[in-house]
Amino acid sequence: MKLSELKNSYLKELKSIYSVSEIDSIFYWVAEKIIGKPASILRMTHDEEWADFDEKKLLFSYNLWELKNHKPIQYILGETEFYGFKFFVNESVLIPRPETEELIEWILTHKLNPECKILDIGTGSGCIPIVLKKKWTNSDIYALDISKDALKTAKNNAEYHQTEIQFLEADFLEMNFSKLPQFDLIVSNPPYISKVEKERMDRNVTGFEPDSALFVPDSDPLLFYRRICELAHQKLNEHGKVYVEINQDLALETKELFDKHFEEVELKKDISGNYRMICAKGLK
């Protein structure tokens, strides 16, 4: 069988879930992983017969079955790309999003002290602290998460990228901050989606990504941001900054919360024109 025939089966079976361009990207991502050759080569040879192709056809079929059941391709392959780096992912961590890349870019453009002490809250795969450590090699970075499995994944990623991160297992909402050091930068992409929004979300998110990293109670959607402000009052250095991702539907409410605690609060749009990030500094 040829790659072109398999690709046609992917197009036929997945057209109700993904666009044609998405299916094309997904197929060659799968093919790269199974065959072990770059997509650029596979695209040029998709009409050729491969010697041991029949043995690998079963893997294509199994991956197609998982995709039809809305499982994200990143979880199927166990990896994704973020900020130009490969990260291992599984269902214990969120799949890193482009918006988080924009948050990191914002942090880096503000040119903080490269030897600063950083805390990432709700680290998941470890993508934020690892990228910051790659860029600011002299920084001292802590990464916190409530999930033991998530921290295992983050530690694997840190080891893969040869970055030294101090990982902490704790419930951020309940923990005692007294044992933490002072920080120059606090960053977080916390849970911020209310449960009522869940029914409007795609199955490939709600069916596979960890609820604890996504959802907050309908009655208190800003609880993590309020707790971040509490932490900042105790552990943020005088000239320190806080960077967070936010729910675009609660952008003004989130800014109002930070305005109560900080002298300067900047609300920033992402590339799609949605308010998705906040930078706060100057504790009141």
CATH number, domain with residue 182: 3.40.50.150
Task: Evaluate whether residue 181 is within a structural domain.
Answer: yes
Q: What angle do CA 138, 184, 105 make, to 5 degrees?
A: 70
The one-character DSSP state at 188 is: E
Residues 63, 119 within the same domain: no
Judgement on whether residues 97 and 169 belong to the same structural domain of the protein = yes
Average pLDDT, the chain: 92
- Answer yes or no: do 102 and 178 share one domain: yes
Tokens 């943020």 locate to 236
Q: How confident is the model at residue 53 (pLDDT cuts 50, 70, 90)?
A: low
* Residue 81 in domain: no
Domain match, 63 and 98 both: no
pLDDT of residue 30: 94
234 has a pLDDT exceeding 90: yes
DSSP one-letter code for 192: -
Is the pTM higher than 0.95?
Answer: no
- Above 90 in pLDDT, residue 240? yes
Is residue 84 domain-resident?
no
- pLDDT value, residue 50: 64
For residue 235, count CB atoms less than 10 angstroms from its CB and return exposed for 0-12, middle for 13-18, buried for 19 or more. Answer: middle
In a domain, 87, yes or no: no
pLDDT at 267: 97
Same structural domain, 57 and 198: no
pLDDT at site 84: 95
Residue 88 falls inside a structural domain: no
Domain residue limits at 98: 93-283
Say what the pLDDT of residue 229 is: 98
Distance CA 213, CA 191 (A): 5
Residues 170 and 227: their CA atoms lie apart, in Å, by: 14
> Which residues, in sequence order, are CB contacts of 163 under 8 Å at separation 6+?
129, 130, 133, 134
Do 43 and 142 fall within a single domain? no
Structural domain includes residue 184: yes
| Token pair belonging to 80 | 């994704």
Tell me, yes or no, whether 97 lies in a domain.
yes
Indicate the number of domains in the chain. Answer: 2
Is 278 among the domain residues?
yes
Low-confidence winner among 1-5, 103-107, 133-137 (lowest mean pLDDT): 1-5
Over residues 121-160, the pLDDT tens digits come to 999 999 999 999 999 999 999 999 999 999 999 999 999 9
Q: Are 242 and 228 in contact (CB under 8 A)?
A: yes
Are residue 122 and residue 29 in the same domain, yes or no?
no
Say yes or no to pLDDT of 52 above 70. Answer: no
Task: Give pLDDT, residue 131.
Answer: 97
Q: Indicate if 57 and 194 belong to the same structural domain.
A: no
Q: What is the pLDDT of residues 26-45, one digit of tens each?
A: 999 999 998 888 888 888 88
